[in-house]
Structure 1
Amino acid sequence: MRALLALTPAAALAALAGCVTPPAEPAGRALFDDYCAACHGPGARGDGPAAADLDVPPPDLTRIAARNGGVFPRAQVMSTIDGYTRTDQHGGSMPEFGALLEGPMIRYDSGDGRLTPTPRPLADLAAYLESIQQ
């Protein structure tokens, strides 16, 4: 019985490690290129080819943390991307990408210390945006 109890924490830790795999920046970059660059530009500065046709200019995504006191607001960014809490931000021109970013779930800490089931593509995109902050 003791041998079984000794293995239980190790097995639980191994299973948990598989659930909290950090997001991958290259995957996030590819998602950005596919879904965001047309408006936000390849450098994420709000100067994409579609930006001129929008009523409200897209923001510079490299300055999200700077606009928030030096802190990258992961949960807020992910909610804006997927459209979960958005009402009519950006003049209604920002599409909701939640359905496009569905995928395998990972347990992700968006900054509140809780591991929340999150679609991996959404976490990957948020991780990429966090990685380009200036």
Structure 2
Amino acid sequence: MKPILALSVAALVLVAACAPEQQVSGRSLYLDYCASCHGERGNGDGPAAEGLGKAPADLTRIAARNGGTFERVKVMSTIDGYTRRGDRSSVMPELGVALQDGPLVLVDTGEGVMTPTPVNLVALADYLESLQE
């Protein structure tokens, strides 16, 4: 790892470790940003769903659609908009900017790579995982 990159990563880890513990409600974030389309329970039946060209996903079936596995990193990338950039068929807004307020926490994004991630994005993904049937 290059020295400057190593220092940058170390600084982010230090900031994440020193950030005050903040209680973030994934449910509250869900109700604020997702429920209008996906419905209060995540079934894709929110009041705004009718006006969309494509039906919102049933968020209670994410794991079921993936062989019983809830892929946290993939879910967070979808919410953030990272994996949907340039997808003109997606009607879901990119929520990365809206969820970036607050401290960062380290999330294993695969193969032991710890990635600084907004705590709000993690809380929302945690809440979605709790909705799985």
Contact 1:40 1:47 in 2 (8 A): yes
2:55 counterpart (45, 57, 60): 57
4+ runs deviating over 3 angstroms: 87-90, 110-114
Identity %, equivalent residues: 56
The structure with the largest helix share of the pair is 1
Change in 2 beyond 3 A, CA 1:89/1:45 = farther
Q: Which has the larger radius of gyration?
A: 1
Count of residues paired in the alignment: 115
Letter in 1 for 2:44: G
Change in 2 beyond 3 A, CA 1:90/1:38 = farther
SS in 2 for 1:85: helix
Q: State the Cα deviation string for residues 3-53 of structure 1 (Å, max 9, x = none).
A: xxxxxxxxxxxx99x84xxxx996100000000000000000000000000
Gap runs ≥5 in structure 2: 1-12
Take 1:88 and 1:63, find their aligned partners in 2: how far apart are those partners?
25
Structure 1 length-normalised TM: 0.76
Structure 2 length-normalised TM: 0.77
Letter in 2 for 1:120: V
Letter in 2 for 1:129: L
Shift of 1:114: 3.2
Structure 1 segment 81-100 matched on structure 2, within 5 A:
81-87=79-85, 91-100=89-98
Gap runs ≥5 in structure 1: 1-14
